[in-house]
Structure 1
Amino acid sequence: MPITRLHGRFPYSALPDRPVFDWPNGKRLAVFIALNIETFSFGEGDGATLAPKHKEPDVLNYAWREWGNRVGVWRLKAVFDQLDVPLAVLPNTAVYENCPGLIEAFRARGDEIVGHGRTNSERQGDLPEDQERKLIEEVSETFRRQEGRMPSGWLGPWISQSEVTPDLLAEAGYGYLLDWCHDDQPVWMATRSGKPILSVPYSHEINDIPTITARLASAEEFADMIIAQFDEMIEAAESAPAVMSIALHPYLVGQPYRLRALKRALHHILQRREAIWLTRPGEIAEAYAARFPADQRQAP
Structure 2
Amino acid sequence: MQEGQSDPGLYDFAPWRGRPKIVWPQGKTVAVWVAPNLEFYELDPPANPLRKSWAKPHPDVVGYSHRDHANRVSHWRMADVMTRHGFPGSVSLSVALCDHIPEVVEDARQRGWEFFSHGIYNTRYSYGMDEAQERAIIEDSIRTVRAATGQTIRGWLAPALTHTPRTLDLIAEYGLDYTCDLYHDDQPTAVKVKSGTLTAIPYSLEVNDHYGFFVYNMSPRDYADTLIRQFERLAAEGEASGTVMCIPLHSYLIGQPHRIGPFEEVLRHIAADGRAWIARAGEIVDAWRAQTTGAGA
- After TM superposition, the score normalised by the length of structure 2 is 0.92
User: Which residue does 2:50 correspond to in 1?
Assistant: none
User: Which residue does 1:133 correspond to in 2?
Assistant: 135
User: Which residue does 1:275 correspond to in 2?
Assistant: 275
**Is 2:208 the partner of 1:207?**
yes
User: Which residue does 1:178 correspond to in 2?
Assistant: 180
> Which whole-Å CA distance do the structure 1 matches of 2:173 and 2:8 have between them?
18
User: Which residue does 1:49 correspond to in 2?
Assistant: none
Contact 2:23 2:241 in 1 (8 A): no
Alpha-carbon shift at residue 43 of structure 1 (Å): 2.0
* 1:102-141 map, 5 Å: 102-141=104-143
> Which whole-Å CA distance do the structure 2 matches of 1:294 and 1:173 have between them?
18
Contact 2:11 2:190 in 1 (8 A): yes
Alpha-carbon shift at residue 277 of structure 1 (Å): 0.6
Deviates more, 1:84-93 or 1:222-231: 84-93
* 1:68-147 map, 5 Å: 68-147=70-149
Deviations 1:250-298 (A, max 9, x none): 11001011111211221221221x322110110011111111144678x
**Is 2:28 the partner of 1:12?**
no
> Which whole-Å CA distance do the structure 2 matches of 1:45 and 1:226 have between them?
36
Identity of counterpart residues, as a percentage?
A: 33
Change in Cα spacing, 1:45 to 1:13, as seen in structure 2 (3 Å) is farther
Pick from 53, 56, 59 the counterpart of residue 55 of structure 2. Answer: 53
User: Which residue does 1:31 correspond to in 2?
Assistant: 32
Q: CA RMSD in A?
A: 1.8
Contact 2:98 2:145 in 1 (8 A): no
> Which whole-Å CA distance do the structure 2 matches of 1:293 and 1:133 have between them?
30
Change in Cα spacing, 1:16 to 1:83, as seen in structure 2 (3 Å) is same
Contact 1:196 1:294 in 2 (8 A): no
User: Which residue does 1:255 correspond to in 2?
Assistant: 256
2:204 counterpart letter in structure 1: S
User: Which residue does 1:284 correspond to in 2?
Assistant: 284
2:281 counterpart letter in structure 1: P
2:278 counterpart letter in structure 1: L
Deviations 1:231-265 (A, max 9, x none): 11111111232100100001100101111121122
SS in 2 for 1:245: strand
Deviates more, 1:277-286 or 1:156-165: 156-165
Alpha-carbon shift at residue 224 of structure 1 (Å): 0.9
SS in 1 for 2:187: coil
Deviations 1:118-166 (A, max 9, x none): 0101122441222111111111111122223421111112222211111
User: Which residue does 1:153 correspond to in 2?
Assistant: 155
Change in Cα spacing, 1:188 to 1:43, as seen in structure 2 (3 Å) is same
> Which whole-Å CA distance do the structure 1 matches of 2:279 and 2:116 have between them?
14
Gaps spanning 5+ residues in structure 2: where? 48-53
SS in 1 for 2:17: helix
**Is 2:41 the partner of 1:40?**
yes
User: Which residue does 1:64 correspond to in 2?
Assistant: 66
> Which whole-Å CA distance do the structure 2 matches of 1:182 and 1:296 have between them?
18
Gaps spanning 5+ residues in structure 1: where? 47-51
Deviates more, 1:256-265 or 1:242-251: 256-265
**Is 2:227 the partner of 1:232?**
no
Change in Cα spacing, 1:289 to 1:57, as seen in structure 2 (3 Å) is same
Deviates more, 1:286-295 or 1:202-211: 286-295
User: Which residue does 2:51 correspond to in 1?
Assistant: none
> Which whole-Å CA distance do the structure 2 matches of 1:287 and 1:224 have between them?
29
> Which whole-Å CA distance do the structure 1 matches of 2:127 and 2:194 have between them?
18
Contact 2:95 2:121 in 1 (8 A): yes
SS in 2 for 1:101: helix
